[in-house]
Amino acid sequence: MAFLEAKSLHASYGQTRVLHGISFAMEEGTITALLGANGAGKTTTLRALCGMVKTEGEIRFGGERLDGRATEDIVRRGIAHVPDGRGTFVNLTTEENLRLGAYTRKDRAAVEADLQRIYGYFPRLKERRTQQAGTLSGGEQQMLAVSRALMLRPKLMLLDEPSFGLAPLIVRELFSILRTVNEREHVSMLVVEQNAAMALDLSDHAYLIETGRVVLSGTADDIKKNDAVRRSYLGY
């Protein structure tokens, strides 16, 4: 039984169909990438997993159906979504943003420990803990979004374009932290990326999506070697 499995997902915004029967699966503890160009339906796929867009089809997480459930209930099953646009609570402080990530948790002492652990990963956030989150730089807000998701102690993290708008050096730092979190804490990750090269370096498996369908799937290494992918997405 797959850890996360989507079967023929369809989704539309109003009259416009965006997903035309996407199917994929991922194993526990792995990092899986969804690759594709603008408008391929990557963000919508993540939104569908979180119940943020109406879908047809089947989504199973640990064998349990997720489709049709409210976002708040999906989060309570241990799925943390780092959304497109970062989703910062701009008028709250950095630390309040982080505490909100742990909103559903009852183990207060562990939440405090996690807060310190995350400040260890991202010292910049500690420096800015009492600052209004809206005043953080784009890179810092992306780190905040990832950290807020980690505060849930998720089983699965959905990351929507974590590299978007970040300087290459910061992307590398962020991705290495994601790798550490995956290895040390066994958090599974589903990453949506336009930056295919970075995503393939990070991930174990990958799916290539074009206009709302999966057109290719395999291990990250196989996908890297695929000629069509190399020409269209890796650019060499």
Partner 1 sequence: MDAFIHQVLAGLATGGIYASLALALVMIYQATHLVNFAQGEMAMFATYIAWALINIGIPQLGIPPLPYWQAFFVTVVSAFVLGVLIERVVIRPVENAPVLAVVVVFIALLVILNSVTGWMFTYTIKTFPSPFPSEIGFGRFMSPHEVGAIGVTMVVLVLLYLFFRFTPLGLAMRAAAQNPESSRLVGIRVGWMLALGWGLAAAIGGIAGMMVAPIVYLDPNMMGGVLLYAFAAALVGGIDSPGGAVFGGFLVGVLENVLGAFVIGNELKLAVALVLIIGVLTVRPSGIFGKVHVTRV
Q: Which residue of 13, 28, 65, 103 would you call a contact of partner 1, by CB under 8 A? A: 103
Nearer to partner 1, 91 or 116 (CB): 91
Candidate segments 11-19, 99-107, 185-193, 217-225, binder of partner 1 by CB under 8 A = 99-107
Interface region with partner 1, contact rule CB under 8 A, candidates 7-15, 68-76, 177-185, 199-207: 68-76
- Smallest separation (angstroms) from partner 1 to the CB of 70: 8
The DSSP call for residue 132 is B
Q: Give the span between the Cα atoms of 62 and 8, in whole angstroms.
A: 18
Is there binding between residue 234 and partner 1 (CB under 8 A)? no
CB of 72 to partner 1, least distance (A): 5
Nearest to 164 by CA among 136, 134, 143: 143
115 part of the interface to partner 1, by CB under 8 A: no
The smaller minimum CB distance to partner 1, of residues 60 and 77, is found at: 77
**Neighbour-count burial of 49, counting CB atoms closer than 10 A to its CB (0-12 exposed, 13-18 middle, 19+ buried):** buried
Among 89, 126, 131, 173, binds partner 1 (CB under 8 A): 89
Q: Is 87 helix (H, G, I), strand (E, B) or coil?
A: coil
Q: What tokens does 56 get?
A: 């047809």
| Structural tokens at position 59 | 């989504």
Question: Total number of residues binding partner 1 (CB under 8 A)?
Answer: 24
Q: Quick one: which of 194, 151, 210, 157 has its CA closest to 49? A: 157
> Which class for 73: exposed (0-12), middle (13-18), buried (19 or more C-beta within 10 A)?
exposed
**Does residue number 87 form part of the binding site for partner 1 (CB under 8 A)?**
yes
Binding mask 137-176 for partner 1 (x = CB under 8 A): -----------x---x------------------------
Find the distance separating the first CA and the last CA of the chain, reported in whole Å: 37
Residue 40 is which amino acid? A
- The answer to the question of residue 229 lying near partner 1 (CB under 8 A) is no
How remote is the C-alpha of 96 from its chain's centroid?
21
Q: At 65, give phi and psi (nearest 5°).
A: -70, 130
50 binds partner 1 (CB under 8 A): yes
Which residue lies nearer to partner 1 by CB, 16 or 91? 91
Closer Cβ to partner 1, 148 or 205, answer by number = 148
Asked if 36 contacts 7 with a C-beta cutoff of 8 angstroms, the reply is no
Kindly tell me which of 25 and 52 has the beta carbon lying closer to partner 1: 52
Residues that bind partner 1 (CB under 8 A): 50, 52, 70-72, 75-76, 80-81, 83, 87-92, 96, 99-101, 103-104, 148, 152
